[in-house]
Amino acid sequence: MRKPHEDLREAVLAEAGRLLEVEGARALSARRLAAAAGCSVGTLYNIFEHLDGVVRAVNRETMKRLAAALAEADPGEGAGRAARLEALGQGYLAYGVANPARWELLFRYRLDTPAEALPAELSTLLALLRSVAGPGPSDEALIALWAAVHGVVELAVARRLPNAAEGAEGRMIALVIEAGIRGLAAEGFGRDP
């Protein structure tokens, strides 16, 4: 019932995760992956066609983990919508800072095959955002809020913030979320639970 290589496929992905965490995104090469998983490069290419495929699979897993981390950070429906959004933003920052290699693969890896660069699991995140914001705000506004928060995290993870902002990432997230909430309010943020 299960495809021939499925065990090996999972072993490869597990080793990919290990390599990423221990040695960073640079270490994720076909040869090292094959060696770590105990097969030859040729077999790796039988399973994945291109290295892009490994990255995409890792990214799907990363998205699941990110969604889980955000669900964890979410104080839940008991808390106010504003507090929940703030918590989600801080959770997004925390996940990125804690997993720079996965973050890099997810957002900075150059995928040659143009097919959706972000895994479809992104919709899970947007759905969570939607459930917190209520049905009022447009998709565009929600995605803009995500992108704004993402900008802070991306610059923080890539170590591209000016010195003046060092250590202020959390406060900057709070500022962006606060402003975003005011912007969303004009679109009916929080109406209709």
Binding site for a copy of itself (CB under 8 A): 25-26, 104, 107-108, 110, 114, 116-118, 122-123, 126, 139-141, 143-144, 147-152, 154-155, 158-165, 168, 171-172, 175-176, 178-180, 182-183
50 binds, among DNA, a copy of itself, none (CB under 5 to 8 A by kind): DNA
Q: In whole angstroms, give the CA distance from residue 191 to residue 193.
A: 6
Cβ nearer to a copy of itself, comparing 81 with 150: 150
The SS3 call for residue 117 is coil
Q: In whole angstroms, give the CA distance from residue 11 to residue 33.
A: 10
192 binds, among DNA, a copy of itself, none (CB under 5 to 8 A by kind): none
Q: In whole angstroms, give the CA distance from residue 152 to residue 9.
A: 35
51 binds, among a copy of itself, DNA, none (CB under 5 to 8 A by kind): DNA
Residues that bind DNA (CB under 7 A): 4-5, 8, 27-32, 39-43, 45-46, 50-52, 112
Least distance (Å) from a copy of itself to the CB of residue 140? 5
Query: Alpha carbon of 160 to those of 9, 96, 167: distances in Å?
Result: 35, 14, 12
Structure tokens at 48: 């994945």
Helices and strands per DSSP (H, E), number in the chain: 9, 0
Cβ nearer to a copy of itself, comparing 48 with 103: 103
122 binds, among a copy of itself, DNA, none (CB under 5 to 8 A by kind): a copy of itself
121 binds, among a copy of itself, DNA, none (CB under 5 to 8 A by kind): none
Structure tokens at 72: 């964890």
Which conformational region is residue 159 in: left (phi greater than 0), alpha (psi within -120 to 50 degrees), or beta? left
Structure tokens at 155: 């610059």
Least distance (Å) from a copy of itself to the CB of residue 116? 8
